[in-house]
């Protein structure tokens, strides 16, 4: 009973806050609502017997990345997005581009509907392991991450490093030219 209630509470919160992230125009509120949505998701992860994932989500996304977002929003000092004055000549507003975006959104909806309709056929345990034991302990998770998936893990970290170097190069001011 309590678990069902908590599930609906957290999923409801996650959906409502996520909707308001794009549903209102103050970028500051958007960042905070996204943090709230991460919090609700962390609650769902705990219900799925994955406390480490929940805490990692809070530390990495809510605690570090969103603070950076907040930092940027504060520095830009944009009080509200002005929907009435948007630039109609912007390349992203070209009819071909917008129609392509609409097509992608349609595909996403179909995909989601298909996945939801087939959800009952799937009987895979949460952990995805054959014997059905959950990977909930941190030690177990570390072993899986650093032994079975070590290549993917290292490849991801190199990808992030490359992206970071790229960002630094793009943001650097050319002082000697």
Partner 1 sequence: MDLKFIIELAIIGLTFFMLINASAILVLAERKIMGFMQQRYGPYLVGPHGALQPLADILKLLFKEELRPKGADKWLFTLAPILSVTAAFAAFSTVPWGAETTFFGLLSEPVKLGVTDINVGLLVIFAITSMGVYGIVLAGWASNSKYSLFGGLRASAQMISYELSYATSLAAVILLAGSLSLRDVVDSQNVYWLGFIPRWYIFLQPLGFIIYMIAGVAETNRAPFDFPEAEQELVAGYNTEYSSVRFALFPQAEYINMATMSAVATDLYLGGWHGVPFLENLGLGWLIFLAKVGVILFAYIWTRWTLPRYRYDQLMHFGWKFLLPASVINLLVTAALFLYLNG
Q: Which helix (H) or strand (E) holds 152?
A: helix 150-171
Nearer to partner 1, 48 or 55 (CB): 55
What is the footprint of partner 1 within residues 25-84 (CB under 8 A)?
A: 28, 32, 35, 51-52, 55-56, 58-59, 62-64, 67-68, 70-71, 74-75
Q: Nearest approach, Cβ of 106 to partner 1 (angstroms)?
A: 36
What is the footprint of partner 1 within residues 91-120 (CB under 8 A)?
A: none
Q: What DSSP state is assigned to residue 92? A: G
142 binds partner 1 (CB under 8 A): no
For 95, residues 6+ apart whose C-beta sits below 8 A from its C-beta are none
Nearer to partner 1, 49 or 109 (CB): 49
- Phi and psi at residue 127, to the nearest 5°: -75, -20
Rounded Cα gap, residues 49 and 134, in angstroms: 8
Q: Nearest approach, Cβ of 71 to partner 1 (angstroms)?
A: 5
- Phi and psi at residue 115, to the nearest 5°: -65, -40
Mapped onto helix, strand or coil, the DSSP state of residue 130 is: coil
Nearer to partner 1, 111 or 137 (CB): 137
Give, in order, the Cα–Cα distances in Å from 80 to each of 27, 62, 158: 6, 22, 37
Q: Nearest approach, Cβ of 83 to partner 1 (angstroms)?
A: 20
Q: Provide the token pair at 163.
A: 């992206």
Nearer to partner 1, 14 or 33 (CB): 33
Residue count, binding to partner 1 (CB under 8 A): 20
Q: Nearest approach, Cβ of 115 to partner 1 (angstroms)?
A: 30
Q: Which residues contact partner 1 by CB under 8 A?
A: 28, 32, 35, 51-52, 55-56, 58-59, 62-64, 67-68, 70-71, 74-75, 137-138
């Amino acid at each position: 009973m309590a678990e069902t209630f908590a599930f609906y509470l957290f999923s409801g919160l996650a959906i409502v806050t996520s909707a308001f992230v794009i549903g209102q125009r103050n970028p500051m509120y958007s960042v905070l609502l996204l943090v709230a949505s991460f919090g609700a998701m962390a609650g769902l992860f705990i219900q799925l017997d994955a406390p480490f994932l929940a805490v990692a989500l809070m530390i990495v996304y809510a605690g570090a990345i969103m603070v950076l977002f907040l930092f940027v929003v504060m520095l830009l000092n944009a009080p509200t997005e002005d929907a009435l004055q948007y630039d109609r000549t912007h390349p992203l507003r070209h009819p071909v581009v917008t129609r392509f975006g609409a097509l992608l959104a349609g595909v996403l909806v179909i995909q989601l509907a298909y996945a939801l309709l087939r959800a009952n056929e799937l009987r895979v345990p949460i952990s995805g392991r054959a014997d059905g034991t959950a990977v909930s302990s941190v030690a177990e998770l570390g072993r899986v991450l650093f032994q079975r998936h070590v290549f993917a893990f290292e490849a991801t970290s190199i990808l992030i490093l490359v992206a970071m170097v790229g960002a630094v190069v793009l943001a650097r001011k050319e002082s000697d030219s």
